[in-house]
Amino acid sequence: MSLYVMKFGGTSVGTIERIRAVADRVIRTKNQGHDVVVVVSAMAGETDRLVALAHSISKIPDQREYDVLVSTGEQVSIALLAMELKQRGYGATSFLGHQVTILTDAAYSKARIKEIHAPRLLEALRRGEIGVLAGFQGIDDHGNITTLGRGGSDTTAVAVAAAIRADVCEIYTDVDGIYTTDPNVCPTARKLSRISYEEMLELASLGAKVLQPRSVEFAMKYNVPIHVRTSFSDVEGSWVTKEVPEMEAVLVSGIAYDRNEAKVSLIGVSDTPGIAAKIFSTLADANICVDMIIQNISAEGRTDLTFTVPKADLARAVNLIDGIKDIVGAREVKTSTDIAKISIVGVGMRSHSGVAARMFETLANAKINIEMISTSEIKVSCIINARYLELAVRELHESFGLDREQVAEENSFAGAG
């Protein structure tokens, strides 16, 4: 007998028929003699609808009330699934974040889980019931509702799996595993039977939304094996596990992209000590994560500073920058939302040179201009015009041989599953 955490994403619970299919799968696992905790997202499209409602009240909605609103989608799906399970004669109890309890910090809309105490859930399991948990939500120290950022139900699932020492965390989604890149963008993307926590964390952080980055961090820290698979069939999915030596053999293991960043340029800021500190501490104090930064060569004591922030935080960022515009001496603040970030990832890059050069060459051959670059030990990222994103994904996928069979050999890991 094992303890399973099974997480179902929005598409998997998108209709009543799909919720019934989820119940079938949960019941099957239960009937095999396992204990089951289910974590569910809001029904497909619901969180987007709630976000749009908030923005119809204000361009910068009150952050506390925003979380109260956008967390409601999950309440609907846990209730429907628990009802269906009970109707079929299975004991089940639904739990909201604060009923579990999932304790987070107070960073509304991007809260981080601090602790999980799950006495009621464990009690329900002891009674032989199925626990049905709302993903994406928690409460802070003052009892305010918080949400974990888009895609946050993945993190709820893995964090709960770690807290109750589950044997496996299954993530059921609308693709049948983790691919070399988004299979909905690149038809030649290849399914990986296994990927390391480290590479998956990098891919997820760079935009591969199949798993939320925080969920991979939890899995890595607490050694929770993740099995990403489809809720539409029984095929084996992809495992996210510790690194095994064969993974080093592959130079580039995946390509990720992110359309959710926006670019801010501060034109003509004074080139004196403390200016960058002022700008970025102002944004950090407001919990806005800055990703890439470039500073131009200065002329006559002035310089241009360009950086990227999440699109969702752009309005707030511009407001804050406007407030300190005179202090930092900016002549103009320009923004652009038609950018995209494309990244190549691979632990094999650590010991090989020329990977970045090949990426730049591939983009150049496709006549795609690179606006910003950043690198780390196991990734290279470029900001390009969003219009060319899909082309860039396909060109790089081909250029690094990710679609080819012989690479498939190198890329397939022994003993997967």
Q: Which residues in this chain contact ligand ASP in the complex, by CB under 6 A?
A: 9-10, 41-42, 47, 73, 135-136, 150-154
Residue 178 interaction partner, one of ligand ADP, ligand ASP, Mg ion, none, beta carbon < 5-8 Å per kind? ligand ADP
Strand segments, DSSP code E, in 46-177 are 92-95, 102-104, 113-116, 130-134, 137-139, 145-147, 168-173
Helix, strand or coil, per DSSP, at residue 376 = strand
CA distances from 214 to 218, 269, 293 (A): 6, 35, 23
Per CB under 6 A, the list member of 84, 182, 198, 395 interacting with ligand ADP is: 182
Quick check: 185 and 210 in contact, CB under 8 A? no
Whether the ω angle into residue 101 lies within 30 degrees of 0, i.e. cis, is: yes
Nearer to ligand ADP, 8 or 307 (CB): 8
Tell me the torsion sign for CA atoms 302, 307, 309, 315: positive
Site string for ligand ADP, 26-45 (x = CB under 6 A): ---------------x----
For residue 76, what are its two tokens? Answer: 């609907």
Least distance from ligand ADP to the Cβ atom of residue 260, Å = 12
Nearer to ligand ASP, 158 or 206 (CB): 158
Q: Which DSSP state fits 13?
A: G
Identify the burial level of 391 via C-beta atoms within 10 angstroms of its C-beta, where 0-12 means exposed, 13-18 middle and 19 or more buried. middle
Q: Which DSSP state fits 349?
A: G
Residues in 145-174 at the binding interface with ligand ADP, rule: CB under 6 A: 151, 173-174
Tell me the torsion sign for CA atoms 251, 254, 255, 257: negative
Residues in 6-45 at the binding interface with Mg ion, rule: CB under 5 A: 9
Nearer to ligand ASP, 151 or 207 (CB): 151
11 binding ligand ADP? (CB under 6 A): yes
Q: Which residue is nearest to ligand ADP (CB)?
A: 9
Least distance from ligand ADP to the Cβ atom of residue 336, Å = 23
Residue 215 interaction partner, one of Mg ion, ligand ASP, ligand ADP, none, beta carbon < 5-8 Å per kind? none
Nearer to ligand ASP, 7 or 190 (CB): 7
Residue 174 interaction partner, one of Mg ion, ligand ASP, ligand ADP, none, beta carbon < 5-8 Å per kind? ligand ADP
Residue 246 interaction partner, one of ligand ADP, ligand ASP, Mg ion, none, beta carbon < 5-8 Å per kind? none
Q: How far apart are CA 186 and CA 389, in angstroms?
A: 11
Per CB under 6 A, the list member of 4, 5, 9, 109 interacting with ligand ADP is: 9
Least distance from ligand ASP to the Cβ atom of residue 363, Å = 30
For residue 251, what are its two tokens? Answer: 């130079």
Tell me the torsion sign for CA atoms 266, 271, 276, 278: negative
Least distance from ligand ASP to the Cβ atom of residue 243, Å = 26
Q: Which residues are at the interface with Mg ion (CB under 5 A)?
A: 9, 151
